[in-house]
Chains A and B, each alone.
Chain A
Amino acid sequence: MAQEAHIDSLIAIDIGTVSTKAVLIARVEGVYRFIARATSSTTIEVPWADASIGARHALEKLSVAAGRPLLEEHGDLIMPERPNGAGVDVCVVTASAGQPLRVVLAGLAGEWSLESLRHAALGTYTSIESEIALAGFRQRDRSIADDRIQRIYDSRPDVICISGGTDGGAERSALELVEAAKIATRFLEATGTKPRLLFAGNASLKPRVAEAVGNQAELLQIDNVRPTLETESIGPAQTELEVMYAQHKMANIAGLSTIGSWSTFPVLPSARAFGHVAQYLSTENPKMGVLGVDVGSSTTAIAAAFNGQLYMTLRTDIGTSFGVRFLREVGWENIARWLEFEVSEGDLRAFVVNKELRPTTIPQDIHELRIEQALAREAIRAALRVARSGWPPGTPRFSDSSIPLFQPIIGSGGVLSNAPRPGQAALLLLDAVEPVGVTTLVLDVYGLGTALGAAAMAQPLASVQALDQGGLLELATIIAPTGPVRSRAGEVVMSVKISYESGGTIEDEIKAGSLSVLPLSLGQKAELQVRPRAGIDIGRGPGRGGRPIPITGSALGLIVDARGRPLILPSDAERRRKQVESWLWDVGA
């Protein structure tokens, strides 16, 4: 492992399903800064079938962009950095290109142990192939023994996760599930696959589970995901699944071993690295959470962190490039509702199929761009719906809000960072996340989130300083009031006053239903005074504005989102399109 004191330069390589990114961070005048980045197509599939080819393409581009030779003649990364500035001291590698871990979840009751298993599984790159509940979930999940075995067999899982029973609680039912998993495993062995069993149920059953399984399957026993009805403990299960993903899926990515040999640390799942950034930032302000939203080509990741505790949720079946299945799930009308123009179901289907067939392509006209952004809105909303149920109770939030208070909200992924106008990225995040109170939208404009999270393994200071040195772009300060906003349509719900440090003020009265942008350029500083009307809450209690809030400039300035929560679009199609067009206009999108 490289010594921190000797790290002058660092490269982070991320192997995504569609794109491979390389980011260079180097110490300039004693401070780590983001220097350059480059992207190339991922080459894990035929005809290349070697991830290192795409990584070298990205490094070649990065060499040109940074003006620094990075590759040896024979194609290996130059390490450590040479006196002439060639190469780098450290390389860290992340990957999300592996096929997700196929898992079957089995628990006693859908709303308790099975739900906790689901939270654990969705924390990393998994694909939940089947859920088996003995009781209390849905009628179709009441399976008799043979059906359970058959369902596990048909799912061809890599891992069978079993929970059930609080510690010292139910026994027989959990053992029934173990039995079904064991028999299915025996059958699957004949097909050349041997799933692992992960038991995360009643702790007192561990010896009996071990005895029941014997040597007929690889058994891993960990802490109960639901030790009591009131508590959830998914950390150990999540860690084990992440290790399995790294060992059995990431390791199978063709050519990753070559890139991995350059890496100073084990290859890290990309989402975990992205989550590190949210986790780090959440320690700076324990009163608020931090939300990271990463919309990738094949996975949408939600990283929510509260006071240093990270809650990851991944939907590996939702992404901007692979949307055929998602369109079926969410329904074409829910995509079309975010568009200011009319689109048919057939047109949307054509769009998502063509994008899935050629996932590296980019939109060239405004209609295609809007459809991609509409898909991203629904992808984030769908991922958030799953993520919310896994967040701990007691997170800081308004009593009437389904989403906690987050500061900041980080948007990442090509559809956001490549948005031609900052207003498009900002409105996408506002529509998808529906934040409340006062917060900041931050854009991972260089795609650094994953890189910085991974770089923290080698040199935490590099991540912190690169973040501080403008690694993330501040998009806008947001005020999103809650309370009886919608019922006062057209009425003034609050007034805002910006007092610029350089002199001068702007005052505005905000009407319910409106979306307003007040200028505050990058580098400017100001104080914000908000006076909500009776019943309107910006996080300081109904009708209370509190002390002036110091704010700094950003790409867009201050956005006051007085559209109400939850956000409801007009049901009439023509009115809705006009409304969407008006919002796009308001934020300069």
Chain B
Amino acid sequence: MTEATAYYPPETRVMPLTLIRRERILPVPGEILVASGQRVESSDVVARTEVSGQFRTFEIARLLRVQPSRAMRYLRKRQGDPVKAGEVIASRVGLGVRPVRSPVAGTIVDIDERDGRVAIEVASKPIELRAYLKGVVGNMLGNLGLVIESPGAMIQAAWGMGGESYGVLRIVTESADEPLKNTSIDINAHGSIVAGGGTLTASALDQAQQLQLRGMIAGSIEGDLIEAALKMPFPILLTEGVGRIPMAAPIFELIKAQDGREVSINAETRTRWGVVRPEILIPLPSDTRPPMPPAIGAPLTVGARVRVVRGPHMGRVGTVTSIPARAQRIDIGTRVPGAEVRFSPASSAFVPFANLELLR
């Protein structure tokens, strides 16, 4: 294959040791509670703020039966003032005119003198942002957030349901293709993040709820279990996707080696317009500064480690042994460019480029 016809496949990161950096950002500016260089645990609150986004407007002029231009003289509050539920915000003495009370607690955020209108932003509960990753505070991002750094293992999953979590990692299957059942999870897993290689089963979901797990990691889940999985109170990460697909062997081996360590998982998945992939982060001790993740955009070459992401070999990991110069015919009848991939000494197959990704 010449450089001019190189194929640049998508990549999935499976890294035993790298420098992990994660930004922790508030939805709106707030207070940062840690300083650069400070060590933090996953559960530490590192920043907080308040968000409401709920508004009430009051047409003071109409309610007090005056011209808009005169309404403001009856106002008892100024912009930025807090308001209690039931508190009078404007009043006028007049026959049949009632004082204007706010039915909700909040803050006066807008006074439109021209139209005689007042807006209140409803009071909200504070938002606390936790560190999520055990590590050291790096750069500060003003009053919006900060960066946390840690050496550790990083694995990108395929799909996730739910948000962030952290806890002790418990491996509950012996192999990458053993289904994750209720019998796999015993009482020792209570409050931990459970990982198993194969397909997640309905019985495992029931058991996970009872044992108040903080998260689950599996190779895959069957399509008819998705609705049930979406209702779980903890995040679920799938390294391969939907179906009966065993976890890719290099991912299973890496996770298995870290059994009992603290792990941070984020199930957030966005597939376009700002792609976000779910991730498994395992902070690790390191005497030296670990390498940064490799540069992206490597072309597919002979010897590359690849994973099949669609078709009859979906989920299998292998090595590219050759890249035929000509497109090959596949079962549906079309000719497509691709690569010969060896999965084991006795098993290899031609796989279209489009159905391959680099595991790095």
Contacts and interface: CB of A to CB of B under 8 A. Distances in A.
A497 interface: no
Contact of B330 (A191, A354, A364): A364
B4 A60 contact: yes
A466 B192 CA distance: 63
B55 A354 contact: no
Contact of A60 (B6, B296, B357): B6
A369 B5 contact: no
Interface in A148-188: 149-150, 153-154, 179, 183, 186-187
A354 B8 contact: no
Given A358-B309, A365-B311, A353 B332 contact: no
Contacts of A363: 310-311, 332
B147 interface: no
B242 A354 contact: yes
Contacts of A258: none
A358 B6 CA distance: 20
Contacts of B273: 99
Nearest to B11: A47
A350 B223 contact: yes
Given A61-B4, A368-B310, 15 more contacts: A43-B297, A47-B297, A60-B6, A64-B2, A146-B55, A149-B55, A183-B112, A183-B117, A183-B119, A187-B55, A187-B121, A346-B224, A346-B226, A353-B226, A365-B312
B224 A187 contact: no
Nearest to A249: B273
Contacts of B35: none
A349 interface: yes
Given A47-B297, A360-B10, A350 B309 contact: no
Interface residues of A, number: 56
A361 B354 contact: yes
A353 B53 contact: no
Given A191-B28, A344-B224, A353 B159 contact: yes
A362 B8 contact: no
Interface string A308-348: 00000000000000100000000000000000000011111
28 contacts: A17-B272, A45-B272, A47-B297, A48-B296, A60-B5, A60-B6, A149-B57, A150-B55, A183-B117, A186-B110, A187-B109, A187-B121, A298-B272, A345-B223, A345-B224, A346-B222, A346-B224, A349-B242, A351-B223, A358-B158, A361-B309, A362-B355, A364-B310, A364-B311, A365-B312, A366-B331, A366-B332, A420-B332
A190 interface: yes
Nearest to B224: A346
A146 B6 contact: no
Given A350-B222, A353-B159, A48 B297 contact: yes
A57 interface: yes
Contacts of A48: 296-297
B77 to A, nearest CB: 17
Interface of A: 17, 40-41, 43, 45-48, 53, 57, 60-61, 63-64, 99, 145-146, 149-150, 153-154, 179, 183, 186-187, 190-191, 214, 298, 322, 344-351, 353-354, 356-366, 368-369, 418, 420-421
B145 interface: no
A473 B333 CA distance: 19
A541 to B, nearest CB: 42
B243 interface: yes
Contacts of B334: 418, 420
B346 interface: no
Nearest to B271: A356
Contacts of B275: 45-46
Given A190-B109, A191-B28, A344 B223 contact: yes
10 nearest CB pairs, A to B: A346-B224, A346-B223, A364-B311, A350-B223, A47-B296, A349-B223, A420-B333, A350-B242, A361-B310, A45-B275
B274 interface: yes
Contacts of A61: 4-5
B336 interface: yes
A190 B4 CA distance: 49
Nearest to B28: A191
Contacts of A57: 6, 8
B345 to A, nearest CB: 24
A480 B212 CA distance: 61
Among B55, B224, B310, B311, max chain A CB count under 10 A is at B310
B241 interface: yes
A16 to B, nearest CB: 11
Interface in B294-337: 296-297, 309-312, 330-334, 336
A365 B331 contact: yes
B54 interface: yes
Among A47, A183, A190, A364, max chain B CB count under 10 A is at A364
B22 interface: no
A539 to B, nearest CB: 35
Given A45-B272, A47-B297, A369-B332, A364 B355 contact: yes
Contacts of A183: 57, 110, 112, 117, 119
A53 B355 CA distance: 20
B312 A353 contact: no
A133 B143 CA distance: 40
A365 B332 contact: yes
A384 to B, nearest CB: 24
A298 B296 CA distance: 25
Given A345-B224, A350-B243, A354-B241, A362 B297 contact: no
Interface string B73-97: 0000000000000000000000000
A364 B331 contact: yes
A364 B222 CA distance: 20
A146 B334 CA distance: 57
Contacts of B3: 60
B4 A64 contact: yes
Contacts of B271: 322, 356-357, 359
B56 interface: yes
Contacts of A354: 241-243, 310
Contacts of A153: 53, 55
A284 to B, nearest CB: 33
Contacts of B243: 350, 354
